[in-house]
Amino acid sequence: MRLLLHLALTTAIVLLSDVNGGSAGITSKFIRTEWPSIDIPLDNEAFAVPKGHNSPQQVHITQGDYDGKAVIISWVTPHEPGPSTVSYGTSADKFDFTAEGTVNNYTFYKYKSGYIHQCLVDGLEYDTKYYYKIGSGDSSREFWFQTPPKIDPDASYKFGIIGDLGQTYNSLSTLEHYMESGAQTVLFLGDLSYADRYQFIDVGVRWDSWGRFVERSAAYQPWIWSAGNHEIEYMTYMGEVVPFKSYLHRYPTPHLASKSSSPLWYAIRRASAHIIVLSSYSPFVKYTPQWEWLREELKKVDREKTPWLIVLMHVPIYNSNEAHFMEGESMRAAFESWFVRYKVDVVFAGHVHAYERSYRISNLHYNISSGDCFPVPDKSAPVYITVGDGGNQEGLAGKFRYPQPDYSAFREASYGHSTLEIKNRTHAFYHWNRNDDGKKVATDSFILHNQYW
């Protein structure tokens, strides 16, 4: 193990180091020749509709409970409800069990969705490959997924991290590269389809195309969802004023398992990780439901069982890009002291269409009557990483602020995705992979040392 760690340390392109060590942050000079930031045409094979009358489409799964022994399987039938049954088992040609789900639909302006099915499949065994079938007759479709290892401090597991994906050719490059990574679950940082950049019925049409777009991955492994600003869809000119309407109908979360009052914030445990999902666009100041929930959830974290404490949000707390600069300041004021007190390992965010990683820093002493307004090195603080570079049609955020702040370790305006490979209770390998003209290029890497152990 020591040899492996030594090799990783010597080959990592950029290593995490203490700010006090005098390590200067890096602003990459790489300028990519990107594909145009336009959505893929609807008739492209990336959005292919499965064959067969009323065949299930837009299939995706997410964790369905607190500890990883259940999944929620979701799909859409376009023409009629059809069965909401999932047949499943541990053999590809034998489905020994069934589970019954629910079906509903919704309208958005004059768009009427297909029939959205959601089925909880629980009581699963850990570390087991399950095959499942949905639909009926010749239109049925079959998929599979792998359950995680049991909750254990030394359980190894590999997560992918994607944010602000959209449905452009750059998005497709990110998704295809991610699928080659060997990661087992996606931690998604918000801004899914960017359907809100369309109008009238095309909003719903682009939610449908995005569902078919990500199915190639999301039908086979859990995507852990968080919501961004493009999910709000507050469109008064169309009479649509219910926030997150499309998102909440289409992408369920296991929020009740962590006693959350909203699907927009929740927590799960998976392998050796305790993952907390926060909502940047829901009330979070003192005494609000999200604030009260997070206070109690952090008390439940047992680092003896799940040593890795990971937080997901959409708006970054630390960001040195001109885009969305200081938009996360209010959430920093509300939650940063808790992140330090409970020694959160890493906070992942999206929103800014670029990549940036911080050192371990905090800004706990700042208030409106003091002059201590600069982040300082803090060994108990998380690493803050922005991965809002999935590939959406708004393009890259290429204007970083200068000089580069002391807290910023590495930053680059390129599309890509990240992976976090947990090896044991003490070490995890992190990689950010740039999409370089259609090729995956490992660009920023380091070894993450667990805060508790």
Active-site amino acid positions: 324
Tokens found for residue 209: 């195309």
Bridge-based pairing of strands 185-188 and 97-100 is unpaired
SS (H, E, C) 372-420: CCCCEECCCCCEEEEECCCCCCCCCCCCECCCCCCCEEEEECCCEEEEE
Tokens found for residue 337: 């002291």
Beta strands in 65-196 (DSSP E): 71-77, 85-89, 97-100, 102-104, 107-108, 111-112, 115-121, 129-134, 141-146, 157-162, 185-188
Q: Is 176 left (phi over 0), alpha (psi -120 to 50) or beta?
A: alpha
Question: Where is 150: in which H helix or E strand?
Answer: none
Beta strands in 3-79 (DSSP E): 26-27, 57-63, 71-77
Q: How far apart are CA 94 and CA 42, in angstroms?
A: 36
Please, what sign has the CA dihedral across residues 108, 111, 115, 117? negative
Half-sphere exposure of 168 (CA within 13 A, CB side): 21
Cα Rg, the chain, nearest whole Å: 21
> Exposed/middle/buried for 91, CB within 10 Å: 0-12, 13-18, 19+?
exposed
Cis amide prior to 403 (ω within 30 degrees): yes
Q: How far apart are CA 345 and CA 268, in angstroms?
A: 16
Tokens found for residue 144: 């599979």
- Are residues 316 and 386 in contact, defined by beta-carbon separation less than 8 angstroms? yes
Residues 6+ apart with CB under 8 A from 255: 261, 262, 263, 264, 265, 266
